[in-house]
Structure 1
Amino acid sequence: MQRIAIPPARRRLHAVIAAGGLSNLSEGMGGLALLWYVLQSGGGASAVGLLAALSLGAMIVGLPLGGILVDRYGARRIAIAGSVAGTIPVACLALLTGQETVLLSLVFALVLLAELPDGAVLTALEARLPELAAGAGYSLERVNAVDDVIDGISGVAAVPLAGVSVAMFGVSFTLWIALVCGLLATIVAAFSLPAESKEVLPRALAAPFQGFKMIVFERSALPLVLIVALLIAAFNALEEVVVPVVSVEVGFGPEGLGIVMASAGIGALLGATIYIGSIRLAKPRTIFLGAVLVLLASLIAVAVQPNWPVLLGAAFLAGLSAGTISPIVNTRLQRFAPTPLRGRFLGAVGALVVSISPVTALLSGVGVDRFSVELVLIALASLCAACLATAVMFPDAL
């Protein structure tokens, strides 16, 4: 049988997507391990909300800074440097969580340091997809959808693996596994992302504002950023605060929490797959609005009946919604900016769309402790309704 040769441009694209999947696997395993550690520490929903807020807050700082660095030094250099920088606090967390008593404040500080470089790594992997897709002869829509499928597979694998690992070997061991996965992603990125020459900037201090200026002057970019910010705020609070807290309240161990969160990953995988098949059958705006309605339905379901089957189904529907929306938004944003400015533009957009999420995550945790899960879910549903209203008011955004 004659061997089919894969062109180098396609091999490079496949490797970059694989590196993103490995990085997502590392994030998923480490995230669930730390989430379980905080839940078992006795801090309650407020501590879980603070953990999510710190992680998201670090992304707000890291994304625009990462965009500047990617445009200045190249995607490959920043992906490698960011990944290596992120492993140091993760290693510290793995060592600390193996001790009998650890201050939660120290854990939170290390989480903040571990998450800061992630924005740069994420921007580095995403900013060069349009060129890699064009070189490989694929459409950008399909590349983004396949990228989300791989992320969905790694997300599905990460949480049950982490749940079983935490139950059998503990949080510390699971964090070491996450660290190894992250280092593997760095190695793959090092050999697959294109080498780029340094960009000569006329004024280094002007660089941070170029991405934000593009958002303001691009007519449909600002409404799109607002729509996505509202949606991400609702989804992150649901996935990172409400679902874990309710899972523990109904008596799940780490394995059960992993199953619930894996169902969201399965939904995301299916959502991205559905989008691949529906690219030519429906307009992106129609698909987007339908996906937001699905997320709204999942919030209402948990508010009405927060039990095991409903929680599992709601997590699946939320993931289905996110998996469908993600390639639509990514493709739209990647096409806004020219190549020399794409890192700064995507970094600025990333910071803005996540800007509401730390507040909603923190308030969701406090709201669950002080009031009720149902009230928090109603508030999150109102964010989805506002997202729908904004999308209807600005049809050109999608």
Structure 2
Amino acid sequence: MTGSLPRRPFTGLLVAQFTSVLGTSMSALAIPWLVLTSTGSATRMGLIAFAEMAPYVAMQALGGPLIDRIGARRVYVLGNAAAAAAICAIPALYAADLLPLGALACLAAAAGAVRGLADCAGQVLVPGTASLGAVPLERAAGLHGSANQTGLFVGASVTGILVSALGAPTVVLIDGISFGLAAALVALLVPAAAEPQRIERRLSTRQYVADLGEGVRFIRTNRLMLALVAMIAVTNLLDQGINAVLVPVWVRERLQQPDALGLIAGALGAGAIIGALIAAWLGPRLPRRIVFTFGVLIAGAPLSLVLALTGTLPIALAVAFVAGLGTGGLNPILNAVLYERIPPQLRARTLGSLKASAWIGTPIGPLLAGSLIEAIGLRSTLFAFAAIFLVATAVPVMLPVMRNMNRAPHLRADGTEARDSEVVAEST
């Protein structure tokens, strides 16, 4: 292969990921809006949103052994194709007046489950497609993160406009088509050589549980990975509380301008996209630990602190943009570290467990933020979140184990990471 052909699989995966995440972002808004406008019930809207996201998160954690045996490429294609069928059925049944709430919940749950599998499979394909195109791992992780951030940002930005112009059912149909397009892109452009070797043994219930346990055990016994997972779980909890509760309450109390919510979200999203692109460009040339430390320190605490101290939108937008830069620069480094340290045969089950662990606290964040506001007020809650954020990000990056982020691991013959003493003994 010559010219741009070696990088075609990686480029195809990036475009497919952007397209799939774009659809995910749009459906996360358009389907609940369809329920709200059809029933007038916020409770039913929340029920459908839960029905879609709960299976998505569950299959991220539980789908690894299936991906190992079916193959990441095939799971990605079949998962997105199945999501396209389920999502496209919603506007079709709605137009025929054959869409009761139970049927909508089942279709949303089915789409969420297969997309959870497909998204986990997409992560597994990143190192292989990058290797085929000789793309450095930090750059590949940064570009993949940029595709995710851009899809989320564009989807959130255009969904409201499209719903107003075309109606929620038509937007849901567009969502379904986007999943089908993502499936076609990977089917056509990503070869089977990009995925780890499949496991051939049968998947009994006992073996399935053992495979899941192997992924969890790998995380638990790797000190660097354990520190990263703990930090991400806490910061995701805090992020959800800030974005879902604290920022809206701040906007209502300090500005009384509902459109400011969209502006702040846009500043965060734009910063995250630019941060991910900068990380993709400069990542291979910079020490990971220093960039990671700088990113986590500007991504969390400053926004809460500034919101507590000011009621001015321009200042909030500037800090939100900087926080987005930090957030966008983190994921490429994290993903590069994970891709390096997780053996190929464990990637599906381990990455799924990692993502589920990182999201486990997100439902608690809004509850914590709301409870604290009622107990101590908005200003004090913002200070409290800033303090917790600072501790949750500053303490882990000071741990000695974080120095291991700067180097690729030495692996034993069985794929597990060797201790430093073993490496020294081997070299002498």
Q: Same fold (TM over 0.5)?
A: yes
2:162 to 160, 165, 168: 165
Q: Which amino acid aligns with 2:386?
A: A
Counterparts of 2:95 and 2:247, CA distance in 1: 26
- Judged with a 3 Å threshold, the aligned counterparts in structure 2 of structure 1 residues 166 and 232 are, in CA distance, closer, same or farther, namely same
Shifted more, 165-174 versus 343-352: the winner is 165-174
CA deviation vs aligned residue, 1:52-103 (integer Å, no higher than 9, x gap): 7766643431112222222111012211222233335534654688899x99
Partner in structure 2 of residue 226 of structure 1? 230
Partner of residue 391 from structure 1, selected from 390, 393, 396: 396
1:132 maps onto 2:132 in alignment: no
Asked if the contact 2:58/2:113 (under 8 Å) is kept, the reply is yes
SS at match of 1:199: coil
Partner of 2:200: 200
CA distance in 2, matches of 1:286, 1:154: 28
Partner of 1:20: 17
Q: How does 1:232-271 map to 2 (within 5 A)?
A: 232-240=236-244, 242-243=246-247, 250-252=256-258, 259-271=263-275
What CA distance in whole angstroms lies between the structure 2 residues aligned with 1:142 and 1:131? 13
- Looking at structure 2, the residues matched to 107 and 246 of structure 1 have their Cα atoms a distance apart, in angstroms, of 34
Q: Deviations over 1:252-288 (max 9, x none)?
A: 36xx755543332211111112223443664222222
The corresponding residue for 2:415 is none
| 1:31-72 CA distance string (max 9 Å, x none) | 23356668885749x987x88776664343111222222211
Are residues 1:297 and 2:302 paired?
yes
Number of the residue aligned with 1:346 = 351
Conservation of the 8 A alpha-carbon contact between 1:26 and 1:158: yes
Distance in 2, matches of 1:111 and 1:371, equals 38
Give the partner amino acid of 1:323. G
User: Is the contact made by 1:292 and 1:384 (CA closer than 8 Å) also made in structure 2?
Assistant: no
Bigger shift: 193-202 or 24-33? 193-202
Once residues 394 and 7 of structure 2 are traced to their aligned partners in structure 1, the CA distance between those partners, rounded to angstroms, is 40
Aligned residues: 390
Cα displacement string for residues 324-362 of structure 1 (whole angstroms, at most 9, x for unaligned residues)? 111011111111111111111111111111111122245
How far did 1:307 drift? Answer: 5.8
Q: In structure 2, what residue type is equivalent to 1:118?
A: R
Change (3 A) 1:309 1:244: same
CA contact (8 A) 2:136 2:284 kept: no
- CA gap of 1:379–1:216, structure 2 versus 1, over 3 A, is same
Task: Give TM-score scaled by structure 1 length.
Answer: 0.82
Q: Answer with 87-96 or 328-337: which moved more.
A: 87-96
Residues in 1 aligned to 2:386 and 2:323: alpha-carbon distance in whole angstroms? 12
Shift of 1:185: 0.9
Is the radius of gyration larger for structure 1 or structure 2?
2
1:302-341 CA-partner distances (Å, limit 9, x unpaired): 3444564455445433422221111011111111111111
The 2-side partners of 1:113 and 1:367 are apart by 36
5+ residue gaps in structure 2?
A: 406-428
Q: Aligned-pair distance for 1:246? A: 6.0
Distance in 1 between the 2:166 and 2:252 partners?
Answer: 20
C-alpha deviation, 1:386, in angstroms: 3.4
Note the residue ranges of structure 1 that are not aligned, 5 or more in a row.
none
Q: Name which of 211, 214, 218 aligns with 1:210.
A: 214
Q: Distance in 2 between matches of 1:93 and 1:311?
A: 39
Identity across matched positions, percent: 26
Cα distance change on mapping 1:172 and 1:240 into 2, 3 Å: farther
> 8 Å contact 1:152–1:268 — kept in the other structure?
yes
